[in-house]
A and B are shown apart, each in its own frame.
Chain A
Amino acid sequence: MNVTQLSAFVTNKPGHLQRVLKVLADENINIITLTIAETVDFGILRMIVNDPDKGYRVLKEQNITSSITDVLALEIDDTPGSLFNALDVFAQMNLNIEYMYAFTEKRDGKAVMIFRFEDVETAKKALIDKGYNIVRKIDIIGENK
């Protein structure tokens, strides 16, 4: 099963990001990694959390515009050129990466990158064919979530 990303719409003004984080904190939701894409007026907060469905629900209850999307979590060697090689797979398949970000911690000595594609499945298949290890949802957030 794919890794699920939780995204939220945040006005680019003091206090707004904090409000989202407070809702998640109050509900005991842990953020494993995150990134923010910002514009002048607003930002989009994208997170991998330990319980995305609950996170989505509690944000929604607080009238915070949010969504959940499937993303691709890829394990790559933490060595020069590894990311370059992975991207080469996408380039050859003509798959456009919408955006990407990294995990803060290594997993079994390897780096983990999150990729957002229009079509996750095609990208996934291309990587598996090349022998890459796709990180599953269960590997990140555990069972029963």
Chain B
Amino acid sequence: MNPRRWYSVIGMRLRAVLQRDRVERDLDKELRFHLQQQIEENVAAGMSPDEARYAAMRRLGGAEQIKEECRDMRRTAYLEDLGKDLRYTLRALRKSPGFAVAIVLSLGLSIGANSAIFSAIDGVLLKPLPYPRADRIARLFFSSNEYPEFSLNPFDFRDLRVRAHSFEALAAFTRGDVQLSGSGEPVRLAAFRVTAGYFQVLGLVPALGRAFEEKEELPGNGRVVVLSNRIWRTQFGAAPDIVGRKITLDLQPFTVVGVMPPGAEHPGNEYHALPYGDSVDAWWPFTFEGDPSQRGSHYVEGIGRLKPGVTPAQAQAELNTLLGEIGHEHGGYGGWHMLVIPLYREIVGPDERMLLVLLGAVGLVLLIACANAANLLLARATARQREIAVRMALGAARARLLRQMLTESLLLALVGGGFGALLAPGGVRALVALLPAGFPRADSIQVNASVFGFTLLVALAAGVLFGLAPAMQSSRVDLQQALREGARGATGSRHHQRLRDALVVAEVGLASVLLVGAGLMLRSFVNLVRMDPGFRPEHVLTASLSLPDTDYKTSAGVAHFYDQLVANLAAAPGVKAAGAGSDLPWTGYDENDGGFTIEGEKPAPGEEFHARYHVATPDYFRALGIPLVRGRFFTEGDRTDAPNALIVNETMARVYWRKRDAVGGRVAFSDNPKEKDWMTVVGVVGDVKDRPDAAGAEPAFWWPMLQVPFAQMSVAVRADSGAAQLANELRREVHRLDPTLAVADVRLMDQIADAGVSTARFAFFLVGLFAGLAITLAAIGTYGVISYSVNQRTHEFGMRMALGAGRRDVLRLVLSQGVRLAMAGVVLGAAGAAILARVLRSLIFEVSPADPLTFAAVVALVLAVAVVACYIPARRATDADPMVALRSE
């Protein structure tokens, strides 16, 4: 159809609707003209004027009928009908506002919740990653059965980069924070050391200056830096001449070569993880230092941009072939292979399931709200049955009645959807505030057009869903029956009652599914909170420090600094104990070592001894409240001139020394240890897991800080009370020793512990909220149906009581009706939950998805709610007056 014709067609239709009167007048005039012509012709043929007029009118036929046919041709009837339907609906709704408000409120709440969860899905899962052709970016890992996603060795990476053909660009990166000084208090920058191809892989181009070149990967050439837009603005006042300027990082001069544009987002990392998004302050070159033949240490993370048409699987196959070659050149990598995972999967993988579970949960709530609305509509339709029967008897088409009833449900749904859309922004803000720490892409969750589009679709679907069944039902009335019954006010047909019962059973069932989910989440959360963390987080202040190697050239210097710092802190007023360690509990693991030797023990066949390794000052354990199980803590005596000491955790003692006492056992970090290489276990401390939801603790050991000093340490200070007030004291003590040091990550141990359970709390809170909404809706639904049925049966109850039934009998009769429905619902719901709960397995902690306690509690709760919901109508039933019943008979 050409556009000109479209214009005229649309214009016609609009005119037909908007200028209806004028169009009608024109039609009238047109037909009158025709009549006039006919009359004139008749007169010309010799008839008298009157005769001519009658003949012409006979010939013309029914003018009204012609007009009606012409109107049909205008095809505007449906619009006029819609207007009529809307007016009729509004009139009907105004007559029963409670009904309308109940539907709009319950729909609005559930649609709003759906929109909020959808906005999270949209921002986290659906929105493309903020890189050009992000689907071609993949993460590279060194992988074994035990460590599926391990870091790469830099020289292995360099060899792979030279030999691989599957990638447009390959890059390695590793966390390498730096301290920026020069003006005011030094600040620690969250920074990454990256190889030359890094920005190319991500498809990011510096807004000013340039990215890194390969020659900057050579030792000694790496004193250049690319700044983030944020740091450029906040620290350098967005100076346009920043490129080429020398700045001081870790007390060394670095040349700024580039500034990234805003939105140059970090793709996430594992080792000393930094959250996704705009979290990186600066990038500087990774330099390949040391002996390329030594390939034992793995600490860089790989990322690559696949060539067009190359799949991750193909790239992985190529890398594995290459790894075989490289391994052959360097003594073999038995049990290890390369893993290539699309970046998107790596980022959202772990949280995808939780979001989908939440979407499922709100979806169920919406279904329940729809069932409720359908029930209310059905009850009304039953009440209107006589009216409908009369209309049908007078010739109303069934389709026309259906349309009118669907108009009503769609109108309610759209108003509910509008209400939901109003709630959505607030819901999204609350949701984002509740999100667990470090949730990927949380910053891209927002209410936008696609969320509103989703809301509209959901509202329309809901309107059709809850409107169709009642509409179909009531337009299928048996006319004779309905008109005859009408004499005594239409009673709900058996059919309607069955449908209503089925809807209540479905509501209760769906609510039970949600309750089981919420129950499992609650149990899981309680397990996490009640679990002995292995440390005492109360009243502990922590911070992290990093000593620049330019100022602390020797390990003795590093050891002296931390020794002095913890001694000074311990002497401060209000401090119970102060210590420093290479890391803090529940922050993931920093380092893991494998292949060491334990005197007199052999690892299981095909495996090697491995353990998390840490460094601690003597009072580190006391400050964190990690208990001593056997032996002793480190002391000031465990220094370089004393025998090498080691503290292990309970898991390591139990797994590696089995029946023997680990205290006194010896460990060495070489294959053929000489006497001086041995380290003696002096103590066993309690287990602390990597993360609170980890299945168990991993073997772990600690070196004494004085013997193995680390430049980057976390400080922990236990106070008598009010640890937060020690923050200034801590800063003062650090700067008394070294005014150029940045004190970073000042946090209470409570906050760290809390972040550890935030995911479980988030999941429990939301699913619990939805389950609460669901059971409330289901209770309202049950109440509605029982209440309706009591109204219908008032006469029957009166008769029963007239025949000698007691109030208790009637009460029991009504309650048992409700409980039967609830029972059917909860049985179906529990069966459904038993199947669905399996998807929760990875989201719950130390609870079986078939937890009997949870299921039993849900059944009890649902039945109790059903009894409460039925009690009020049941009481009303007992008020039935036997005399009234008898008289009306």
A, B in one complex: no
Residues of B within 8 A of A (CB): none
